């Protein structure tokens, strides 16, 4: 990379070592996040967890976090170049996609936990909101050519603070505040509900507990993760709005935590008991081969076989051992 076309270190008074630390942390954090996202996507595909709506939401969030982390690996050292503007657009778009998927997960948690209603039928609407709205928002800075070199990476240039806060940090402050209130209310509500169930048993309660287990528990930590990792980037941008001086410690924490959701999400995803119980070599191998092996279907008596669980991939299965034993018993009775 030639130094004549690169702005070099424009931060911290041209202190090259600090700039190298910032870039090193940026690439490391983004790489770890990418690995974490690929792990989540791989496990969901491997064990066909995508058949459960809550797991599909985790899948969509992980895909968005993966693409957002990829943006932090771009070079970003060529100001006012098409590659720099593309990086800025990419980061704006996929940061919004991640944020909106977190919002959709929170909405789903509220419906499941408070109203005890599923939102599977809203899945198409979630996709429209999460992929289309960010596209419109991320195009606004092209109006006055605001995208460009922004210091440690390409984004909205410092001389356009109204774009920074108008299309990202302003809405982000409001959304994070709402997410925090919703998450706090949901947590208190669920604790009271679970406490009221102690010592009780009836089929309706058991069905509600099953909804909580399948739809809420896998998702409940992801909004909290996003809220926690957004603290230092928010503090850093507030400091930027008050003072144009770059504080090395705040920028370091910003670039450390901003690309990190994929890594922390992967840790939480792995700690799920149902997932952990499957991560053995035998089960992984069996699940992998099942994607490339056709299931044996016996169709002589399809009308007589009923499965208590209805899934898209369930097939009629006849227990040949039981059938054989039953045939032997019938023969013996006839002889008697």
3-class SS at 61? helix
Predicted model pTM? 0.78
Residue 331: how many other CB atoms lie within 10 Å: 10
How buried is 226 (Cβ within 10 angstroms: 0-12 exposed, 13-18 middle, 19+ buried)? buried
DSSP state of 165: I
pLDDT at position 4: 36
pLDDT at position 202: 56
Residues in CB range of 293: below 8 A, 6 or more apart: none
pLDDT in tens, 287-332: 888 888 865 444 443 443 333 333 334 333 333 333 333 444 343 3
pLDDT at position 312: 38
User: Which residues, in sequence order, are bridge partners of residue 148?
Assistant: 155
Which among 38, 68, 44, 89 is positioned nearest to 257, based on CA atoms?
A: 68
Dihedral of the alpha carbons of 295, 298, 303, 304, in degrees to the nearest 10: -110
pLDDT at position 328: 43
Those residues of the chain that have pLDDT short of 50 are 1-7, 296-336
User: Which residues, in sequence order, are bridge partners of residue 156?
Assistant: 147
pLDDT at position 115: 78
Runs of H (alpha helix) within 243-314: 248-257, 261-271, 273-276, 281-290
pLDDT at position 204: 59
């Amino acid at each position: 990379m030639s130094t004549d076309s690169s702005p070099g270190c424009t931060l911290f008074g041209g202190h090259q070592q600090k700039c190298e630390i910032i870039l090193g942390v940026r690439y490391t954090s983004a790489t770890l996040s990418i690995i974490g996202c690929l792990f989540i996507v791989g496990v969901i595909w491997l064990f066909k967890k995508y058949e459960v709506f809550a797991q599909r939401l985790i899948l969509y969030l992980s895909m968005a976090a993966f693409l957002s982390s990829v943006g932090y690996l771009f070079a970003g050292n060529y100001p006012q170049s098409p590659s720099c503007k593309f990086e800025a657009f990419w980061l704006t778009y996929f940061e919004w996609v991640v944020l909106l998927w977190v919002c959709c997960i929170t909405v789903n948690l509220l419906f499941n936990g408070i109203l005890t209603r599923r939102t599977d039928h809203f899945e198409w609407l979630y996709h429209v909101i999460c992929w289309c709205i960010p596209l419109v928002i991320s195009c606004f800075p092209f109006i006055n050519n605001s995208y460009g070199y922004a210091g440690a990476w390409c984004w909205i240039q410092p001389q356009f603070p109204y774009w920074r806060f108008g299309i990202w940090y302003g809405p982000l402050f409001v959304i994070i505040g709402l997410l925090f209130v919703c998450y706090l209310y949901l947590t208190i509500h669920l604790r009271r509900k679970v406490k009221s169930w102690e010592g009780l048993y009836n089929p309706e309660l058991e069905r509600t507990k099953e909804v909580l287990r399948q739809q809420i528990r896998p998702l409940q930590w992801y909004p909290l993760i996003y809220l926690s990792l957004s603290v230092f980037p928010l503090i850093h941008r507030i400091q930027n709005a008050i003072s144009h001086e770059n504080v090395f410690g705040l920028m370091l924490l910003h670039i450390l935590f901003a690309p990190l959701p994929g890594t922390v999400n992967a840790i939480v995803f792995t700690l799920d008991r149902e997932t952990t119980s499957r991560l053995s070599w035998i089960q992984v191998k069996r699940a992998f081969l099942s994607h490339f092996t056709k299931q044996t279907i016996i169709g002589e008596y399809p009308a007589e076989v009923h499965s208590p669980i209805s899934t898209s991939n369930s097939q009629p299965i006849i227990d040949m051992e039981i059938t054989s034993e039953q045939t032997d018993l019938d023969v013996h009775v006839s002889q008697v």
